[in-house]
């Protein structure tokens, strides 16, 4: 091998080694630099993750607080509603009581009083409002008879119902003022003497003055207002049905205080009449304080 050749070959080898060395250094640098970037990225990522996780935790706790608050709000709304409802109930109750009291204050308490031969209605008493009874129900067509305005509907309904059952009922007497009652009693006294005191004049006195009482008869009864009336289908029908229209027999057979008057019917309201009918009690035997509890509903 010539020197030149040897020298050339060495230079080439040197150059190649140099290139290889440089390549290794560059590659090493790249690897180093990459690994540094990787570490930085990892650091970045871990801090971002930490921030994110912290934010999530904050959000979660904020959400929990909000949920609690909305639950509390719902509860408070419910509490308020309950309070308002109970307040409403109280108002309704008070309004109901006031309504009942107002109704009661406007209802004539005399309408359910028990009257007797010794306990009379005041002479000056006149019903709140009177209405004329339809002529077709009246026994003596020459007479004009009046009845308590608010009880008249019940009377008409009863008489119409009787007609639909083919039961004939006619009114002999209804409202009687104090003056009319007095002259009637005088007539009785003239006719029957002192025995008239035992007669119907006294016991029916106040009830006719109330305007809520009628004396009834029917065709075929020769003398109206006698106990013969009890043998008629009309009386039987009344005994079984009058209570449905609020009417009761004031002086029933076998009562302890009064002469029997099958013709004399008094309006006391459907509720009370039904109670008396169902329990088979005489009006005169029921305690006044119990009777009074029916006053508010007398025209219902
Ligand atoms: Zn009578």
Helix (H) or strand (E) holding 261: none
Give the integer Cα–Cα distance in Å for 20 and 58: 56
CA of 215 to the centre of ligand 1 (A): 5
pLDDT digits (tens, 9 = 90+) for 83-123: 888 888 888 888 888 888 888 888 899 999 999 877 888 88
Q: What is the mean pLDDT of the chain?
A: 86
How many angstroms separate the Cα of 12 from the Cα of each of 7, 16, 25, 27? 9, 6, 20, 22
Question: Following DSSP, what letter does each residue of 209-244 receive, concatenated?
Answer: HHT-EEEEE-TT-SSSSSGGGGGSHHHHHHHHHGGG
pTM score of the predicted model? 0.69
DSSP letter string, 116-178: -SSS---TT---S-EEEPPGGGBSSTT---EEETTTHHHHHHHHHHHHHTT---EEEE----H
How far, in Å, CA of 256 to CA of 68, rounded?
76
Residue 300 alpha carbon to ligand 1 centre in Å: 24
| CA 238 to centroid of ligand 1, rounded, Å | 15
The angle, 0 to 180 degrees and rounded to 10, between the axes of the packed helices 152-164 and 233-241 is: 130
Q: What is the percent of the chain with per-residue pLDDT over 90, rounded to a whole number? A: 46
Question: Cα separation of 223 and 229, whole Å?
Answer: 9
How far is ligand 1, taken at its centre, from the CA of residue 214, in Å?
Answer: 6
Report how far ligand 1's centroid is from the alpha carbon of 82 (Å): 57
Count of beta carbons in the 10 Å neighbourhood of residue 32: 10
- Residue 3's pLDDT band (cuts 50, 70, 90): low
User: What pLDDT score was predicted for residue 194?
Assistant: 55
Q: What is the pLDDT of residue 191?
A: 64
In the chain, helix, strand, coil percent, each to 5? 65, 10, 25
Q: Mean pLDDT over residues 162-170, rounded?
A: 96
pLDDT, tens digit, 9 for 90 and up, residues 247-289: 999 999 998 888 899 999 999 999 999 999 999 999 999 999 9
Alpha carbon of 106 to ligand 1 centroid (Å): 26
* Rg (the chain; Cα; Å): 53
Residue 63 in tokens? 């959400």
What's the gap in Å between 279 CA and the centre of ligand 1?
24
**pLDDT number for residue 2:** 62
Distance 264 CA to ligand 1 centre (A): 4
pLDDT in tens, 197-233: 445 556 778 899 999 999 999 988 888 888 999 999 9
Structure-block tokens of residue 74: 């719902």
Rounded CA gap, 26 and 49, in Å?
A: 34
Q: How confident is the model at residue 130 (pLDDT cuts 50, 70, 90)?
A: very high
Q: What is residue 244's predicted lDDT score, i.e. its pLDDT?
A: 98
Q: What strands, in cross-sheet order, belong to the sheet with 213-217? A: 170-173, 213-217, 264-267, 247-249
């Amino acid at each position: 091998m010539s020197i030149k050749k040897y020298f050339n070959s060495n230079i080439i080898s040197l150059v190649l080694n140099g290139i290889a060395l440089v390549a290794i250094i560059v590659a090493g640098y790249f690897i180093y630099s990459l690994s540094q970037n990787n570490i930085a990225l990892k650091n970045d990522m871990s801090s971002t993750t930490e921030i994110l996780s912290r934010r999530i935790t904050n959000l979660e706790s904020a959400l929990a607080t909000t949920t609690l608050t909305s639950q509390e709000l719902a509860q408070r709304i419910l509490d308020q509603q309950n309070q308002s409802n109970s307040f409403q109930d109280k108002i309704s109750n008070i309004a109901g009581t006031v309504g009942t009291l107002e109704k009661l204050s406007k209802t004539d308490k005399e309408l359910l009083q028990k009257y007797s031969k010794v306990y009379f209605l005041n002479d000056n008493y006149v019903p709140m409002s009177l209405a004329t009874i339809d002529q077709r129900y009246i026994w003596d067509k020459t007479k004009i008879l009046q009845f308590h305005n608010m009880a008249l509907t019940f009377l008409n309904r009863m008489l119409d119902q009787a007609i639909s059952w083919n039961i004939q009922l006619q009114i002999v007497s209804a409202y009687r003022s104090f003056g009319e009652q007095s002259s009637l009693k005088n007539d009785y006294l003239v006719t029957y003497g002192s025995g008239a005191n035992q007669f119907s004049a006294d016991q029916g006195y106040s009830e006719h003055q109330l305007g809520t009482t009628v004396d009834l008869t029917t065709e075929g009864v020769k003398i109206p207002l006698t106990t013969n009336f009890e043998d008629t289908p009309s009386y039987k029908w009344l005994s079984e049905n009058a209570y449905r229209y609020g009417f009761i027999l004031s002086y029933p057979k076998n009562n302890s205080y009064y002469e029997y008057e099958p013709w004399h019917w008094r309006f006391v309201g459907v509720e009370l009449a039904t109670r008396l009918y169902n329990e088979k009690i005489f009006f005169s035997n029921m305690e006044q304080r119990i009777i009074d509890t029916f006053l508010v509903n007398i025209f219902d």
